[in-house]
Amino acid sequence: MKISSLSRAVSAEFAPETAYLNTSTCGLLPRRTVDAVRALAEDNTTGRRNGAGDFEAVDRARGGFARLAGVDAGRVAVGSSVTVHVGLIACSLPAGSEVLAPEGEFSSVVTPFAVRGDLRTRYVPLAELADAVRPETALVAFSSVQSADGRLADLDAVRAAAAAHGARTLLDATQSAGWLPLDAGAYDYTVAGGYKFLLCPRGASFLTVTEEAQHSLPPVLAGWVAAADPWSSTYGPVTELASDARRYDEPPAFLSYHGAEHSLALLNEIGIDAVHDHATGLAARFREGLEGLGHKVVAAPTAVVGVPGLGDRASELERAGVMVSNRAGNLRAAFHLYNTEADVDRALDVLAG
């Protein structure tokens, strides 16, 4: 999408009242998404609706994510959170299995494995992750972009190392899906919370499972929505589950998914390549400005900028109308399609005093 077209699409959907550089915490909702959630909420006050929402909207959201992730919709399960998706995968590992993850990884990616108590969890620096895979490693669990500081994992190297040693891969794309092209089929599992760069209401989350990995992932959370024929499976044990990844569906939060459908449609209309170029270009401008002010910046070609030791200035920036976050002592700024060069310059002006 051309810059002028992107600008028009953004202005029709967003009207931020701040320099909002905090998408890594929570993305802004497009106007079309807000309208869809409001319409469903209004419907649910009247008693005229037969049910709390539409599964067709859920499936349209599933399809929208599938297009962004480069997989067939049958490889996508819907749910409520990354933690639940990862917990499902943690349940599938035999006792004694080794799970390898980066040091400082986001807790939702590693805690479900750690709390089991009968798995071996091993943590190494992110830059050493690929080299640390060994024959006894059962699963490599990691984020494409680190939440704390925006570092980008060496995706190709980790995949190659895992394949060489027969390990499965679990990629958390929560901090990248929506601005970084995703090939979900290249990993055994991917998870992505929808409420950040995917611009969905909180309560929408996506899990992808390859057909091969599905054979060893028991659907321990299965209910009637995971059945091959849900409406014939509402009483008694489900006798036949969906043959594809829908067997891992959780009952959907309809308000979230009625909105998610439209957020994902917007991203597909604009195109991830266009969002990527826009967001990473602004992040590069911010990094350059920070270095000009004498600050050490985490070097990463991502839409998320981490500045070590500067996290305590997040509240000062917020008072000046610049929304960022403090993570692990880092000032973290995240850029998306609704940000502009003026946002970058405003943040730099505040930091320059």
Instruction: Report the C-alpha dihedral over residues 285, 287, 289, 290, rounded to 10 degrees.
Output: 160
pTM for the whole thing? 0.97
pLDDT at 281 over 80: yes
Residues 209-216: what's their mean pLDDT?
A: 97
H or E element, residue 20: strand 19-20
Q: How far apart are CA 180 and CA 277, in angstroms?
A: 9
pLDDT digits (tens, 9 = 90+) for 97-113: 999 999 999 999 999 99
Domain 55-269 sits in CATH at 3.40.640.10
Q: How far apart are CA 265 and CA 259, in angstroms?
A: 10
Q: How far apart are CA 196 and CA 24, in angstroms?
A: 6
Q: How far apart are CA 143 and CA 334, in angstroms?
A: 16
324, 332 in Cβ contact below 8 A? yes
pLDDT digits (tens, 9 = 90+) for 326-352: 999 999 999 999 999 999 999 999 999
The ranges assigned to domains in the chain are 3-29+270-352, 55-269
Determine which of 1-5, 135-139, 198-202 has the lowest per-residue pLDDT on average: 1-5
316, 346 in Cβ contact below 8 A? no
Predicted confidence at residue 4, as pLDDT, reads 67
pLDDT at 80 over 80: yes
pLDDT at 1 over 80: no
CATH of 3-29+270-352, one of 3.40.50.970, 3.90.1150.10, 3.30.2290.10, 1.20.1260.10: 3.90.1150.10
Residues 6+ positions from 115 with CB-CB distance below 8 Å: none
pLDDT digits (tens, 9 = 90+) for 125-134: 999 999 999 9
Strand ranges inside 103-179, DSSP E: 120-124, 137-143, 168-172
Going by C-alpha positions, the residue among 148, 133, 145 that lies closest to residue 101 is: 133
Going by C-alpha positions, the residue among 17, 51, 59 that lies closest to residue 257 is: 59
> How far is residue 39 from each of residues 15, 27, 54, 231, 258, measured CA to CA in Å?
20, 21, 12, 25, 9
> How far is residue 348 from each of residues 150, 323, 336, 343, 344, measured CA to CA in Å?
18, 13, 17, 9, 6
Q: How far apart are CA 21 and CA 325, in angstroms?
A: 8
Residues 243-248: what's their mean pLDDT?
A: 98
Q: How far apart are CA 168 and CA 180, in angstroms?
A: 22
- Token pair of 305 as six digits: 């900028």
The DSSP letter of residue 22 is B
Q: How far apart are CA 289 and CA 272, in angstroms?
A: 25
